[in-house]
Amino acid sequence: MMKISVIGGGSWGTALANHLAIKGYAPVKVLVINEKYLKEINEKHTNENYLPGVKLNKNVIATMNYEEIIEADLIILSVPSHEMRNVIKTLKKYLGEKKPILVSTTKGIEEGTHMRMSQVIISELGEEWVERLAVLSGPTHAEEVSRQLPSSCVVAAKKKELAELVQDIFMSPTLRVYINPDIIGVELGGALKNIIALAAGIADGLGYGDNTKAALITRGLTEIARLGVAMGAKMMTFAGLSGLGDLVVTCASMHSRNRRFGILIGQGKTLEEATKEVKQVAEGVRTCRAVYEMTRDMDLELPIITQCYKVLFEGKDPEIGVSELMTRGAKHEIEEVARDDFEW
């Protein structure tokens, strides 16, 4: 059986390690950066800060040692996007000649470079790693996967054989895994939905209703697809698990850190206050800034993302932001590129 390890002992890394340990992989080593979590996972088999109330499989073993992590045939990356480059730089030092499969589960875009996570990884490790790298994304809150509630996700990789191998490793009666060759679309779906989840949370915080939420989800998906296609993704990927699927779960669930962050902003809290209160990583905040900067000079209409940026980073009153979204010029619902069957 393959040896598996995980870098990032937060909610998602721990939930995935537990999932694979339940499937029979043993041990699944998880890199943590704090003695407290090391002791708690190895002695009590819990990670209360990140997965309250969840009893972990005894084969989930925490370590603070990269030497143990690189012994694996497959390494899962579950760190915040702003830490990915540092993590890969460190990993590279330990890898030497080893070439494990890497599975990125991080949903974000790097600020400054505007790279997707797989691009960050390849830029540090080199092009020869493209065929060793897969991306896993989809509507999978750690709180539910760790309780084995039926969930589904998607794996993208350059080579079909690698996507199928990773599919087989993660697939279980409670986690159904699909494959998709569109790495760009799968990564962007997971990263961009976080911005729309912030916007949905802001609308909730303002006291708006389900109609508002549905409008944000639907028109948010249009923006995700518009930007995604401009960046080389395939349109249909956004109708899948890493697009619509993850967007729905994140905008609707109180598990979502991004949605909870947005609610606090809608209630009038500052960026700093919301960051302190949510504690764990709300990826949409950095991703919103990265996307705003990346697209500022592009001829792309991204009204929800733009208003979200202005509310988060320019102190704009969110009610004014919503009002400006509502009072833009009248529009056709369907994108120009797909309008052939929709003209009068």
Ligand X SMILES: NC(=O)c1ccc[n+]([C@@H]2O[C@H](COP(=O)([O-])OP(=O)(O)OC[C@H]3O[C@@H](n4cnc5c(N)ncnc54)[C@H](O)[C@@H]3O)[C@@H](O)[C@H]2O)c1
Binding site per annotation, positions for substrate: 107, 257-258
Is residue 72 within 8 A of residue 100, CB to CB? The reply is yes
Confirm or reject binding of residue 107 to ligand G3P (CB under 6 A).
Answer: yes
From 181, 190, 291, 292, select the one nearest 244 (Cα to Cα).
Answer: 190
Distances (CA, A) of 44 to 38, 50, 54, 147, 296: 10, 14, 11, 17, 49
DSSP-based three-state secondary structure for 137: strand
Confirm or reject binding of residue 306 to ligand G3P (CB under 6 A).
Answer: no
Count residues binding ligand G3P (CB under 6 A): 14
Q: How many Å apart are CA 189 and CA 72, to the nearest integer?
A: 29
Cα 228 off chain centre by = 15
Annotation says 193 is catalytic: yes
Is residue 38 within 8 A of residue 60, CB to CB? The reply is no
User: In the numeric block, which tokens belong to residue 339?
Assistant: 């309008």
Catalytic one of 23, 29, 193, 310:
193
Q: What minimum distance in Å lies between the beta carbon of 11 and ligand X?
A: 4
Q: Which stretch binds ligand G3P (CB under 6 A): 25-33, 94-102, 247-255, 319-327?
A: 247-255
Among 141, 226, 286, 310, binds ligand G3P (CB under 6 A): 141
- Cross-strand bridge partners of residue 116: 109
Q: What minimum distance in Å lies between the beta carbon of 331 and ligand X?
A: 31
* 246: partner contacted, choices ligand X, ligand G3P, none (Cβ within 5-8 A by kind): ligand G3P
Q: How many Å apart are CA 144 and CA 156, to the nearest integer?
A: 22
Q: Say how many CA atoms lie within 13 Å of 166 toward its Cβ.
A: 31
Binding mask 88-127 for ligand X (x = CB under 6 A): -----------------xxxx-------------------
Confirm or reject binding of residue 8 to ligand X (CB under 6 A).
Answer: yes
Q: Say how many CA atoms lie within 13 Å of 322 toward its Cβ.
A: 19
Burial label for 96, CB within 10 Å (0-12, 13-18, 19+), is: exposed
Q: What minimum distance in Å lies between the beta carbon of 201 and ligand G3P?
A: 9
* 30: partner contacted, choices ligand G3P, ligand X, none (Cβ within 5-8 A by kind): none
Q: Which stretch binds ligand G3P (CB under 6 A): 211-219, 223-231, 255-263, 286-294?
A: 255-263
Q: Which stretch binds ligand G3P (CB under 6 A): 20-28, 43-51, 174-182, 252-260?
A: 252-260
DSSP state of 81: G
Q: What minimum distance in Å lies between the beta carbon of 30 and ligand X?
A: 9
* 10: partner contacted, choices ligand G3P, ligand X, none (Cβ within 5-8 A by kind): ligand X
Distances (CA, A) of 208 to 95, 117, 213, 267, 322: 51, 34, 8, 11, 10
Instruction: List contacts with ligand G3P (CB under 6 A).
Output: 107, 139-141, 194, 197, 246, 249-250, 255-258, 283
Instruction: List contacts with ligand X (CB under 6 A).
Output: 7-13, 31, 33, 50, 78-81, 83, 86-87, 105-108, 140-142, 280-281, 283
- Residues forming the active site: 193
